Amino acid sequence: MSQEKTTNQSWGGRFSEPVDAFVARFTASVNFDQRLYKHDIQGSIAHASMLAQVGVLTTDERDTIIEGLRAIQSEIEAGEFDWQVELEDVHMNIEARLTQRIGITGKKLHTGRSRNDQVATDIRLWLREEIDIILSELERLQSGLLDQAEQHAEVIMPGFTHLQTAQPVTFGHHLLAWYEMLRRDTERLLDCRKRVNRMPLGSAALAGTTYPIDRSITCELLGFDAVSGNSLDGVSDRDFAIEFCAAAAVAMMHLSRFSEELVLWTSAQFNFIDLPDRFCTGSSIMPQKKNPDVPELVRGKSGRVYGHLMGLLTLMKSQPLAYNKDNQEDKEPLFDAVDTLRDSLRAFADMIPAIKPRVDMMREAALRGFSTATDLADYLVRKGLPFRDCHEIVGLAVKYGVDQGKDLAEMSLAELRQFSDQIEQDVFDVLTLEGSVNARDHIGGTAPAQVRAAVTRGRAQLQADNA
């Protein structure tokens, strides 16, 4: 181990020798937690304001501290701040710089708090802000899906089960299925945000503080809904980070499913949609290639977020109360999960409105695979036959179609009647693609009228979210 030594003046009084330089680097978090600087300063300003209100600081000391903190924020944002690894983290770097700027008054800022409740507060402030950004990207993506669904409410494509042609649906209806998934993601994040928005500041190291603090003041200043009810839990709780990663993992799973379909649909074998060139790349050796890199990359990134969820669960699973150094490892997975979800949503929100369906190719595909077979069975049921008998009749008709190379709608009335004398000329009304989708005219159905009604409901939901 290196013999170089370093000293941290924030806690070094108890120690008879300085920390080994390698250990200082190994245990430092400033390289990644410096992104919390704005929220650390925000929390410190609120804390100083509260200390002044309860008489622990004078108003002059408060004003000097706040002025110093705002000057430090300007330094950081101008790229002029000197981050020092030996000061461990964002909190001590800012506090040390504050003392350097304003003198001994800077050392009074930490009265009545610990880095334990300070960092827990910073993370919540940061995550709350990031959730709001993510929700705005979700709203933008959902809005784009609704616009596309409305525009293509009557475009017919095959619906699949087991990736086999099942029944005809509209492209708008399919896009609304994606919208419904994102609605649930929005609901999960909104619910998660409620538990993020609870303030641990005032818990101090683990037991609270002997100073006459008023947590309601800092709670209001920082925009939290409530204060944490137990100081031990306040400093050591990371449920909110795990809960966010769980919601993010589900959202990334949804985006991965969308991505898989986009990759399939852009392939020569499907050729259902066209993605603009700006969302694709080419090949270094095959000049004809147009690769759907954005969907592929989002599909791959889902694994990162799954891993972060499992990492945080494992991090917390054996920790005794209260705070442990293990919790330093919560930030990088949380930061990356937030960045990955936010950027993936942004990519999709930009890309989805630019998708162009190849209407003729979708329709041709829907005409293959006997997609209206269920409609024929339903037609016979309405003629009074038991469904199981109808199922067998249609199965025989499909077998005949496979042998003859004909879809049900391409058969003559005489050909169809060899399977049941209940079939009349009006059967062709239900064997057409339009007849099939229009017949499913109920809430949640694929009929164009229902697609438009769902778009209207969706826009009302987004408006309510914004309100």
Inter-residue contact 408 to 419 (CB < 8 Å): no
Of 2, 74, 267, 283, the active-site residue reads 283
3-state class percentages of the chain: helix first, strand second, coil last, to nearest 5: 65, 5, 25
With a CB cutoff of 8 Å and minimum separation 6, the contacts of 89 are 28, 29, 30, 33, 115, 119
Parallel/antiparallel/unpaired status of strands 164-170 and 273-274:
unpaired
Give CA–CA dist 366/363, Å, rounded: 5
Residue 152 is given by DSSP the state: T
Chain centroid to Cα 459, Å, comes to 20
Q: Which whole-number Å values give the CA distances from 334 to 67, 88, 313, 331, in the listed order?
A: 31, 19, 12, 5
Distance of alpha carbon 443 from alpha carbon 421, whole angstroms = 34
Beta strands in 217-347 (DSSP E): 226-227, 273-274
Taking the C-alpha atoms of residue 32 and residue 162, their distance in angstroms, rounded to an integer, is 44
- Structural tokens at position 180: 């419904």
The helix/strand count (H/E) of the chain reads as 19, 8
The answer to whether 283 is a known catalytic residue is yes
Q: Which of 162, 284, 318, 412 is catalytic?
A: 162
* Residue 152 falls in the annotated catalytic set: no
Q: Write the single-letter amino acid at 37.
A: Y
C-alpha R_g of the chain: 31
**Who contacts 62 (Cβ-Cβ below 8 Å, separation ≥6)?**
48, 49, 51, 52
Inter-helix orientation angle 90-102/37-53, to 10° = 60
Residue 162 three-state SS: coil
245 alpha-carbon distance from chain centroid: 9
| Token couple for 83 | 């981050």
In whole angstroms, give the CA distance from residue 294 to residue 338. 18
Beta-carbon contacts of 460 under 8 Å, excluding residues fewer than 6 positions away, are none
The residue count for the chain = 467
Looking up tokens 């693609």 gives: 433
CA-to-CA distance for 329 and 23, rounded, in angstroms? 16
Residues with a catalytic annotation lie at: 162, 283
